């Protein structure tokens, strides 16, 4: 299938692209390469902590995508040969006409000794299920949340976890017994989202009595003494959550396609790469906005990328000019526990401009809609 459309990665962006393309191109040869047999909806992991969701509810078999007549290769993509237009796995070589890379990122905690042993990763479903058990069986006074690095997927998820935990303990009438602290490597809560979002988040943290410590740079963690070592301080914890630093997928560096940091640069409007007919979506990309700022790694952006690239590939297959463009305008909803905070704005302005709407429980169905859509796509 030398004219096949090959997609590497079956998560949010990869599956969205595959399903959209299959709907519009029902007979076009398509191959999806995904190393995991089971995928889960990562944006809802925080809800697992408080028991609102379970692992089973958020997980789906990758084999379900085959019912859409998408050829599935359940292997790790090891190398991309752009000169010969091939994707190599352990057992086969797949030729492509168009290639979409949507692999996501790799968690990288090598530089932070003790972190994995002592803490719970917000990006690991098993860790979130473990946290749910600890909340009901452990004696907890100091809850600490830490971002060890500035490079991570969905930077705001750390605050969402903090708000959900605070809400949980308050409803259990235990709020007065527990302290919540967030240690952050940057000077504001959300530098990639602009001053307004940072200020709004800081106001909600203050209202919930969740302490925020900026410019804290983690060095290591002692699991036995439960001590976090920062560059200028030491902090004790009973329960520790962290957002793992993100590193580019090995596939990109193994193929010699990445920049000096290993990320694959993408055009901010079309998500095209320096390589012919190769596109990169979501977290595995490095998108620099027209304002010179790097786009954060988050699912709503990845999904938008998937539709933009899919529509342009369809136009190209039909011998038409690719006209679909990313605008930099995105929406996200932050779960505060007792209410939800929607925000909409533009990452392509300098600085980014985002506005929020009043927090309310009425936004819950809208946030749940994205989860339902993902689960439907993977069912």
6-22 confidence digits (pLDDT tens) = 999 998 899 999 999 99
Identify the pLDDT of residue 2: 62
Q: How far apart are CA 256 and CA 79, in angstroms?
A: 9
- Residue 130 near residue 120 (C-beta atoms within 8 A): yes
Identify the pLDDT of residue 263: 93
Q: Which of 255, 112, 73, 296 is nearest to 264 (CA)?
A: 255
Residue identified by tokens 């596109």 is: 279
Mean pLDDT of 102-110: 90
347-367 confidence digits (pLDDT tens) = 999 889 899 999 999 999 988
Identify the CATH assignment for 111-244 out of 3.50.50.60, 3.40.710.10, 3.40.1360.10, 3.30.1330.10.
Answer: 3.50.50.60
Would you say the CATH fold of 111-244 matches that of 5-105+248-329? Answer: yes
**pLDDT at residue 76 is higher than 70:** yes
Mean pLDDT of 272-276: 96
| SS3 track for 180-212 | EEEECCCCCCCHHHCHHHHHHHHHHHHHCCEEE
**pLDDT at residue 25 is higher than 60:** yes
158-198 confidence digits (pLDDT tens) = 999 999 999 999 999 999 999 999 999 999 999 989 899 99
Identify the pLDDT of residue 361: 94
CATH architecture of residue range(s) 5-105+248-329: 3-Layer(bba) Sandwich (3.50)
- Residue 138: pLDDT band with limits 50, 70, 90: confident
Q: Beta 120-121 vs 239-242: how paired, if at all?
A: parallel
Q: Which residues contact 328 (CB under 8 A, 6 or more apart)?
A: 268, 289, 290, 346, 347, 348, 349
- Residue 379: pLDDT band with limits 50, 70, 90: confident
Identify the pLDDT of residue 286: 92
DSSP letter string, 132-176: HHHHHHS--SEEEEE---S--B-TTHHHHHHHHHHHHHHHTT-GG
- Residue 328 near residue 305 (C-beta atoms within 8 A): no
Identify the pLDDT of residue 166: 96
**pLDDT at residue 1 is higher than 70:** no
Identify the pLDDT of residue 346: 95
**pLDDT at residue 218 is higher than 80:** yes
Q: How far apart are CA 294 and CA 274, in angstroms?
A: 18
**pLDDT at residue 152 is higher than 70:** yes
- Residue 328: pLDDT band with limits 50, 70, 90: very high
- Residue 284 near residue 153 (C-beta atoms within 8 A): no
Burial of 351 (0-12, 13-18, 19+ CB in 10 A): middle
Q: What are phi and psi of 169, to 5 degrees?
A: -65, -35
Identify the pLDDT of residue 38: 92
Q: Beta 227-230 vs 106-107: how paired, if at all?
A: unpaired
Q: Which of 71-75, 143-147, 208-212, 373-377 has the lowest mean pLDDT?
A: 373-377
- Residue 46: pLDDT band with limits 50, 70, 90: very high
Mean pLDDT of 249-272: 93
As a whole-number percent, the residues of the chain with pLDDT over 70 amount to 99
Identify the pLDDT of residue 117: 96
* Secondary structure (3-state) at 104: coil
- Tell me the pLDDT of the chain averaged across its residues: 93
Mean pLDDT of 52-81: 92
**Higher per-residue pLDDT: 373 or 266:** 266
Segments making up each domain of the chain, as ranges:
5-105+248-329, 111-244
Q: Which residues contact 145 (CB under 8 A, 6 or more apart)?
A: 158, 161, 162, 180, 181, 182, 183, 240, 241, 242
């Amino acid at each position: 299938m030398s004219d096949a459309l090959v997609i590497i990665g079956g998560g949010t962006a990869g599956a969205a692209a595959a399903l959209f393309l299959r709907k519009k191109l029902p007979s076009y040869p398509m191959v999806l390469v995904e190393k995991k047999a089971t995928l889960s909806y990562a944006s809802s992991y925080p809800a697992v902590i408080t028991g609102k969701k379970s692992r089973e509810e958020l997980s789906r078999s990758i084999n379900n995508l085959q019912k859409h007549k998408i050829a599935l290769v359940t292997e790790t993509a090891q190398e991309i040969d752009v000169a010969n237009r091939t994707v190599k796995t352990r057992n086969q070589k797949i030729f492509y006409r168009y290639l979409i890379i949507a692999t996501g990122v790799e968690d990288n905690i090598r530089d932070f000794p003790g972190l994995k042993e002592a803490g719970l990763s917000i990006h690991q479903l098993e860790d979130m299920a473990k946290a749910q058990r600890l909340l009901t069986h452990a004696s907890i006074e100091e809850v600490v949340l830490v971002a060890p690095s500035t490079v991570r997927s969905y930077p705001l998820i750390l605050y969402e976890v903090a708000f959900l935990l605070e809400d949980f303990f308050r409803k259990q009438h235990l709020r007065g017994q527990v302290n919540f602290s967030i240690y952050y490597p940057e000077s504001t809560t959300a530098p990639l989202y602009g001053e307004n979002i940072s200020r709004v988040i800081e106001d909600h943290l203050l209202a919930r009595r969740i302490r925020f410590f900026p410019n804290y740079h983690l060095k290591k963690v002692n699991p036995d003494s439960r001590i976090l070592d920062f560059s200028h301080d030491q902090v004790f914890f009973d329960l520790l959550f962290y957002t793992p630093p993100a590193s580019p997928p090995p596939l990109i560096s193994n193929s010699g396609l990445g920049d000096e940091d290993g990320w694959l640069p993408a055009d901010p409007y079309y998500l095209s790469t320096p390589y012919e007919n190769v596109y990169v979506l979501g977290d595995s990309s490095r998108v620099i906005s027209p304002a010179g700022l790097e786009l954060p790694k988050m699912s709503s952006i990845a999904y938008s990328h998937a539709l933009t690239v899919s529509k342009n590939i369809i136009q190209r297959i039909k011998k038409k000019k690719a006209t679909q463009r990313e605008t930099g305008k995105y929406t996200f909803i932050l779960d505060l526990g007792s209410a939800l905070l929607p925000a909409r704005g533009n990452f392509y302005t300098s600085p980014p401009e985002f506005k929020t709407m009043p927090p309310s429980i009425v936004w819950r169905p809208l946030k749940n809609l994205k989860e339902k859509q993902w689960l439907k796509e993977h069912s």
